[in-house]
């Protein structure tokens, strides 16, 4: 997969905030897209979003995801995620999804846009927190 250095990975919480119409997040993402950054999502985020949705929201969800690019979860990502989970699950209570999203960001050298910074204590994950980004 050809990933550009200006590419960003959206965490599930940011995608959910977009779907809820959070004006701060919507404005933040619009500004990022204007700078021609590529926005990726993990299939795991798609799973989390659909799992928490009502059936009448599926069309809106599909429309949002059609404007983003899916990213492949590879075997090396699975391996890295397992190592991250092993290291951080007890001390930081991270789950499998968080470890896989973190490993994806690391593997593809993407910045992760998330408000849930506590889910990503790994120093090798480059985080953009919209709450503290100008």
Residue from 1, 4, 7, 2 nearest 111 by CA: 7
Is the separation of the CB atoms in 61 and 51 below 8 Å? no
Domain map of the chain by residue range? 8-130
Question: What pairs with residue 40 in β-bridges?
Answer: 9, 69
- pLDDT, tens only, 98-132: 999 999 999 999 999 999 999 999 999 999 999 87
Q: Is residue 62 predicted with pLDDT exceeding 60?
A: yes
Contact between 8 and 32 (Cβ < 8 Å): yes
**Rounded-to-integer distance, Cα 46 and Cα 97, Å:** 11
Average pLDDT over residues 2-17: 81
- For domain 8-130, give the CATH number: 3.40.50.1010
CA separation for the pair 109, 99 (Å, rounded): 15
Q: Does the pLDDT value for residue 3 go beyond 80?
A: no
pTM (2 d.p.): 0.90
Residue 1 confidence (pLDDT): 43
């Amino acid at each position: 997969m050809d990933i550009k250095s200006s590419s960003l990975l959206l965490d599930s919480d940011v995608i959910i905030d977009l779907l809820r119409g959070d004006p701060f997040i919507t404005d933040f993402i619009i500004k990022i897209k204007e700078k021609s950054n590529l926005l990726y999502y993990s299939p795991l985020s798609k799973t989390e979003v659909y799992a928490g949705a009502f059936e009448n929201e599926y069309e809106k969800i599909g429309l949002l995801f059609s404007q983003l690019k899916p990213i492949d979860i590879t075997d090396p990502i699975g391996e890295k995620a397992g190592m991250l989970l092993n290291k951080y699950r007890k001390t930081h209570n991270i789950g499998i999804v968080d470890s896989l999203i973190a490993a994806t960001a690391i593997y593809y050298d993407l910045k992760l846009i998330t408000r849930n910074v506590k889910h990503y204590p790994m120093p090798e994950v480059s985080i953009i927190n919209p709450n503290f980004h100008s």
